Amino acid sequence: MPKAHIETFGCQMNKLDSELVRASLVSAGFEFVNRIEEADLILFVTCSVRDHAETRALSHIGNLRAFCRKRPDVIVGVMGCMAQRMGAELTERFPHVRIVCGTRAFPLIAGIVAEATRTGGPVIRLDEEFPENGPDREPSQRPSRHSAYVCAMRGCDNWCAYCVVPSLRGPQVSRQPREVIREIEALVADGAVEITLLGQNIDSYGRDLPGDYSLADLLEDVNAIPGLLRLRFITSHPKDLGPRIPQAIARLDKVCEHLHMPPQSGSDRILKLMNRGYTREYYLELVGRLRDAVPDIALAGDFIVGFPGESNEDFEQSMSLLREVRFQQCFLFKYSTRPGTRAEKMPDQLPEDVIVERHQRLLKEQERIALENHKAMIGREVEVLAEGPTRKKPEMLTGRTRRNEIVIFQGEAGLEGKLVSVRIEETTPVAIYGKLTNTSPV
């Protein structure tokens, strides 16, 4: 049986794409191995969102040059966003790369691998040839038995000035509600109890479909699927989060009290340059509305530090927004210039040392807030979906609260995929520890 290995970079959508690639290759007779040295087929599912993501993938790909010289039969393929962005440049720079496949051609990966094996390659399949979305997944091919990602929509129409995603993943295409629901029913029948709906801009789900079916309707329909315990959706764009969403989170029992809604900046001037379509005041108003409807909601955010033209004052606005909202979790990114974006051509690109310094300050502040948030949990009893043993201590399990906090507690392996109660006893900035109090709270 030929052996395959896959390395995944980037966002949840890429993780899902890797699962789909895996499913097609398993049906085509491949066996997956963890050790790259044992593989006959090595695939990289790549990300272009920041320069760092590309550099890491490129260095992994480059490192295989000597290995491929010794094993000329091995096929190396690059898939996903960076493959779409660089195209044939990849095979020119790395002659040992024999497949380049964009973000929509991956359902055809088995045929592409067969072609590369037959011809020696390179086989280059970019998305211009494939207008369609990916197919339904194979429910058995997912890394976790009890949690699964499900694609609700692909692509993005927002064109934030810094972002490469719309140019690499194309315009927004929502899947038909009945397809999404059918897939979730199959996953639940196969043991999944937690579903995360994915879309680059999930709040605008349905806008490209006929009729007025929206994300709130999808949440309602998925919530009604028997056997499902938890439902999440990412990522939310503040300008598209409609008035029915806070109500849906409050009303639908399976929809978790957690929302990833990146502000990106706290300065109106920068938000405008970024083309985000909302103001700081609007963002805060939305946070207020969400907290009125769902008092215990956990908000996660992303900020970009050092966007072109960001003054010290603009940066302080981001700092104060971060303090005011008190995010449960924040992803803080140093601005990275991406080829072909509008921001690339903007004046006043900031020097690296200024960006690094601001980034450090924001990180420190978020760490302080996270620690305070965690400390406030001590003594509380929370519902946790047990996920599996921790890497270092197999007798300890990790799991997530409905608010998406990771909790570590002692418990036996049979609890995986079950809802349990845990009393929080100790916290650090990165972890929350608790004691199991009930193994069948529902």
The strand pairing partners of 79, in sequence order, are: 45, 101
Using CB under 6 A as the binding rule, whether residue 173 contacts ligand F3S is answered as no
Nearer to ligand F3S, 45 or 350 (CB): 45
CA atoms of 224 and 395, how far apart (whole Å): 35
Among 64, 116, 165, 261, binds ligand SF4 (CB under 6 A): 165
Give yes or no for residue 91 binding ligand SAH (CB under 6 A). no
Of residues 200 and 421, the one with the C-beta less far from ligand SAH? 200
β-pair partners for 422: 382, 436
Distance of CA 198 to the CA centre of its chain: 8
Stretch of residues binding ligand SAH (CB under 6 A), selected from 105-113, 162-170, 224-232, 390-398: 162-170
Q: Name which of 196 and 421 has its Cβ closer to ligand SF4.
A: 196
Residue number, 80 or 306, with CB nearest to ligand F3S: 80
- Residues near 114 by Cβ (< 8 Å), separated by ≥ 6? 28
Task: Please check whether residue 46 is in contact with residue 128, taking contact to mean a CB–CB distance below 8 angstroms.
Answer: no
Residue 293 near residue 242 (C-beta atoms within 8 A): no
Determine the longest span between alpha carbons in the chain, in angstroms: 63
**Residues 2-31, mask of contacts with ligand F3S (x by CB under 6 A):** --------xx-xx-----------------
Angle made by CA atoms 223, 241, 160, in degrees to the nearest 5? 130
Query: Backbone phi, then psi, for 243, in 5-degree steps?
Result: -65, -20
# residues near ligand SAH by CB under 6 A: 17
Letters for 145-164 (x = contact with ligand F3S by CB under 6 A, - = none) are -------------------x
Do residues 19 and 140 lie in contact, with contact meaning Cβ atoms separated by under 8 Å?
A: no
Interface stretch with ligand F3S, choices 43-51, 215-223, 260-268, 361-369 (CB under 6 A): 43-51
**Which residue's CB is nearer to ligand F3S, number 200 or number 265?**
200
**What amino acid is encoded at 116 in this protein?**
A
Residue keyed to tokens 């921790």: 390
Q: Is 48 in the site for ligand F3S (CB under 6 A)?
A: yes
User: Residue 13 binds which entry of ligand SAH, ligand SF4, ligand F3S, none, with Cβ cut-offs from 5 to 8 Å by kind?
Assistant: ligand F3S
Stretch that binds ligand SF4, among 106-114, 163-171, 375-383, 410-418 (CB under 6 A): 163-171
Site track 60-89 with ligand F3S (rule: CB under 6 A), x = hit: --------------------xx--------
Cβ atoms of residues 271 and 278 within 8 Å: yes
In the numeric block, the tokens 């010289």 are attached to 69
From CA 321, how far away is CA 305, in angstroms rounded? 13
Which residue from 104, 137, 169, 403 is in contact with ligand F3S, where contact means CB under 6 A? 169
Mark residues 411-440: x for contact with ligand SAH by CB under 6 A, - for none.
------------------------------
Say which entry of ligand SF4, ligand SAH, ligand F3S, none residue 166 contacts (CB below 5 to 8 A, set by partner kind): ligand SF4
8-state DSSP, 145 = S
Q: Is 191 helix (H, G, I), strand (E, B) or coil?
A: coil
**Binding flag, residue 106, ligand SAH (CB under 6 A):** no
Q: Is 313 exposed, middle or buried (0-12, 13-18, 19+ CB in 10 A)?
A: exposed
Is there binding between residue 201 and ligand SAH (CB under 6 A)?
A: yes
Binding residues for ligand SF4, rule: CB under 6 A, are 156, 158-160, 163, 165-166, 200-201, 237
